[in-house]
Structure 1
């Protein structure tokens, strides 16, 4: 059996090392200062391996952002308001982590192969988190807002305030947005 055919083989190790190096460099110096040679050096891999797999720094940053979106999503509690609050707080934490906005910007940046694809993929991931909570509540017979209402009244304000560094965008703010949505009900 070759090394690459094993689960967690060389390819997975290289990807993990490159992702880890990218996150560290973004946190240390910001996304605009990250280069493929610097990532490769930090990850202990040949730059040609990084170029071959990702092509550009923007594509690498977008891939790291996509993976980070998939990790650590909150478990459902079985109550619509609680589930939406946990998901809103998790979304806020994901976006405000060190480098979070930089990864978001890289994911939707115009120099990624197709900007609309990056925007659509980001929206799909963010929507998916909330869709799970809405569908579970609907199955329990709870009255639920539409996904569009959640995006407009919870997600959009969080992203807007974080991207534009508006103070007081914290867990209480995220919970309040959910509360306002649910209380309109």
Structure 2
């Protein structure tokens, strides 16, 4: 039997969307007024008018809320490109990711992601699953045009992981062109393997 929670359906613009919007607004306001360590579920509940139990049920922790907020901001600011050409899409995706991770939102994303993932070894949080789905859609479009593309996991390993590592260790991020070159080599290798 399916897990009832996995079939939850939300209506665009319904109560669920209003709750999420209220919580996101509250977190943004709290972030502008307080150090991150002082943002608690109780303060988010008070500021947003959303019941504390609802926050825990939907997000699980402060880090779960923060991850949802920052992921939404990054998705809005950096939509997955659709130029009609895989190489250009990937180059733009890598450029956006490098810019996003280099800013304060990137630090917050990494911090909350580490905390959420350490606390729950299960599946990816919904906020990140959406982003992976968007990346996969970009790759699927390219494949439908007949282009040879890597998997989303390979793009993550070759583009996102080096950017995250540079952020974690305080080193300069690799140039975007070098990241894209790595994926291009992988795609060329895959195309060659298909041809043999």
TM-score > 0.5, shorter chain as reference: yes
Using the alignment, how far apart are the partners of 2:87 and 2:17 within structure 1? 38
Q: Which residue, out of 84, 90, 93, partners 1:87?
A: 93
Q: 1:138 to 1:66 in 2, by over 3 A?
A: same
CA distance in 1, matches of 2:74, 2:112: 13
Q: Is the aligned partner of 1:117 residue 2:123?
A: yes
Q: Which residue of structure 1 lines up, in the alignment, with residue 180 of structure 2?
A: 178
Calculate the aligned-residue CA RMSD, in Å.
Answer: 3.6
Question: 4+ runs of 1 displaced by more than 6 Å?
Answer: none
1:40 shift after superposition: 3.6
Structure 1: unaligned runs, 5 residues or longer: 1-5
160, 164, 167: which is aligned to 2:165? 160
Q: CA deviation at 1:109?
A: 1.8
Mapping 1:17-56, distance limit 5 Å: 17-26=22-31, 29-43=34-48, 50-51=55-56, 53-56=58-61
The whole-number CA distance in structure 2 between the counterparts of 1:69 and 1:140 is 27
Shift of 1:178: 0.5
Q: Runs of 5+ in structure 2 lacking a partner?
A: 1-10, 189-196
Structure-1-length-normalised TM-score? 0.69
Question: Using a 3 Å threshold, how does the CA distance of structure 1 residues 7 and 63 change in structure 2: closer, same or farther?
Answer: closer
Check conservation: 1:95, 1:101, Cα contact below 8 A: yes
* TM-fit CA distance, 1:94: 3.5
Higher relative contact order structure (alpha carbons within 8 Å, sequence separation ≥ 6): 1
Distance 1:98 1:117 in 2: 26
TM-score (norm 2): 0.66
